Structure 1
Amino acid sequence: MSSYSQINYVKEDGVAWITINRPKVLNTLNVEAINELASALEDAEKDEDIKVLVITGEGEKAFCAGIDINQFVVLSPIKRREFTISYRERVLNRIRGMGKPVIAMVNGYALGAGCELTMTCDLAIASENARFGQPEVNIAAIPGGGGTQLLPRHVGIKKAMELAMTGDLIDAKEAERLGIVNKTVPFDKLKETVIELVNKLKSKSPVALKMVKAAINRSQESLLLSGLAYETEAFTLCSTSEDFNEGVKAFLEKRKPEWKGR
């Protein structure tokens, strides 16, 4: 097994446990973390002994609080586009396309790319302290990992508009009510609850699980690919605007942004 610095990857009893291990920066994703997630997912998909995957974040504060804005802001527009496509194609699309159940064990903030990761996983269990949202609008950006397409499929058009346009966060109970997660439990019961679900899935036919996942995902694929492609282009355009540069600068300086509208 490859060695990893940005994630922890453990395989035991037919389960692949993938933990984003960047707690000091709320488990935000940089290029290296995305590469390691992609590598672990590929390995788990190919390993016939692995029946179920679980993705979580290290610590008690964050599942994944989005992309590492400090790294992202210094990338060129072309590299920003490559970053976004890499996350979507090598991580999210692999989760969606693999014939094994993938569970999000949401232990804290799931923002931006982290919220998209939660929605992409087949099942999601959240701790009561978890918070969800697509706050990209606060730095004059839009969701770039599928949020504009996944949110309305989970919560409906009006609520998706509200969350993406305001950048407001919702708590775990509201996320459960809206269908972003399956269940909410106290933090100290989170892993126990996930293990119960894992064992239930392991007792089912792998063939049946593969087929039902593919069939249900097929029901949601109408216009999804074209929508994702449009989102990538729109995200790239946003990330080259003066407002985006001001939004990121204001975020890092912890002040209110002054929008120019260009």
Structure 2
Amino acid sequence: MSNDSILSEKRGPVGLLTINRPKTLNAIDVPTMHALDAALAAFEADDAVRAIVVTGAGERAFVAGGDIADLDSRRGLQHYEQFAEVIHRLFTRFDNCDKPTLGAVNGWALGGGTELLLALDIRLVAEEAKLGLPEITLGLFPGAGGTQRLIRQIPLCRAKELMFTGDQITAAEAVALGLCNRTVPRARLLDETLALATRIAEKSPLVLKLLKRTLRQGLEMPLPAALAHEQAMIGLVLDSDDAHEGCRAFLEKRKAEFKGT
């Protein structure tokens, strides 16, 4: 499936979503958000897709932010209803996706690009890429979940510095902060991200789903409640065929064949 702003294809068990607006450095506008939401929904519903990779078209940008002209076209309530609700719903959908999501950050990830990354599970970044939340320089602040996701993922003082100054950081700095997993030469970025996604896709999709829910839900709980939640969820896992297939495969010294049941 494809359209003008989003390219969607399957690479074996991995779904690849490419934001395809290179002339605008893959800036996100409302039609692009709707197209990305539809493409993600299709992969979520496809049992053959076990992991999802997101990248940007071209070599300059992953997502260089929101479409500024589009943002400037609205005020107050109109922006809230027509843009903010759409982008929050989309990024929350990525955040809550039961399938592992990976970002292949091939260039600038600014504003909404960094905010999208914050909703993905694993982030590989080209060595030349730059990240940042420059909204303050436009008289704005991150409004697509960035203020809240960033302070939950890196130290608060560093998150404030990034948002208060609008400064860009290098790929290496993003890795040092814990914002990205590792840097990769740009020529190998997509291949390495797809290879990692394929490795993850070999695991039980059911167990990955329950693991992601345990992590996501436990993060918002006090530790005693989170530990009790983990205890209940691993009980659910041990009720699955995949858990026992994995144990038997280990004992029989063979590769497990996970079916998601």
Alignment of 1:19-168 (within 5 A): 19-82=18-81, 83-89=83-89, 91-168=90-167
Query: Alpha-carbon deviation of 1:48?
Result: 1.1
Question: Distance in 2 between the 1:93 and 1:117 partners?
Answer: 9
Higher Rg:
2
Query: Alpha-carbon deviation of 1:154?
Result: 1.7
User: Mean Cα displacement is larger for which, 202-211 or 53-62?
Assistant: 202-211
With structure 2 as the length reference, what TM-score do the two structures score?
A: 0.82
* 2:175 is equivalent to residue 211 of structure 1: no
Question: Distance in 2 between the 1:112 and 1:79 partners?
Answer: 20
User: Mean Cα displacement is larger for which, 101-110 or 72-81?
Assistant: 72-81
Letter in 2 for 1:95: F
Q: Which has the higher contact order (CA 8 A, sep 6+)?
A: 1
Query: Alpha-carbon deviation of 1:221?
Result: 3.2
**1:62-92 CA distances to partner (integer Å, 9 max, x unpaired)?**
0001100011211242231120121111x21
Contact 2:14 2:198 in 1 (8 A): no
Letter in 2 for 1:34: M
Contact 1:125 1:184 in 2 (8 A): yes
| Residue 257 (structure 2) aligns with | none
Contact 1:110 1:133 in 2 (8 A): yes
Query: Aligned with 1:154: secondary structure?
Result: coil
Letter in 2 for 1:53: I
Give the gaps of 5 or more residues in structure 2.
Answer: 223-261
**1:11-41 CA distances to partner (integer Å, 9 max, x unpaired)?**
2312111100011111000111000011001
Contact 2:103 2:117 in 1 (8 A): yes
Question: Distance in 2 between the 1:153 and 1:215 partners?
Answer: 16
**1:44-71 CA distances to partner (integer Å, 9 max, x unpaired)?**
1111111010000001110001100011
Change (3 A) 1:221 1:113: farther
Contact 1:102 1:122 in 2 (8 A): yes
Question: Distance in 1 between the 2:210 and 2:107 partners?
Answer: 31
Question: Distance in 2 between the 1:197 and 1:96 partners?
Answer: 19
| Residue 255 (structure 2) aligns with | none
Query: Alpha-carbon deviation of 1:222?
Result: 5.5
With structure 1 as the length reference, what TM-score do the two structures score?
A: 0.81
| Residue 196 (structure 1) aligns with | 195
Identity over aligned pairs, percent: 38
Letter in 2 for 1:187: R
Query: Aligned with 2:152: secondary structure?
Result: helix
Letter in 2 for 1:86: V
Change (3 A) 1:60 1:182: same
**1:206-245 CA distances to partner (integer Å, 9 max, x unpaired)?**
111111111111133359xxxxxxxxxxxxxxxxxxxxxx
Question: Distance in 1 between the 2:73 and 2:5 partners?
Answer: 20
Query: Aligned with 1:10: secondary structure?
Result: strand
| Residue 177 (structure 2) aligns with | 178
Question: Distance in 2 between the 1:96 and 1:151 partners?
Answer: 13
| Residue 7 (structure 1) aligns with | 6
RMSD: 1.4
Aligned length: 221
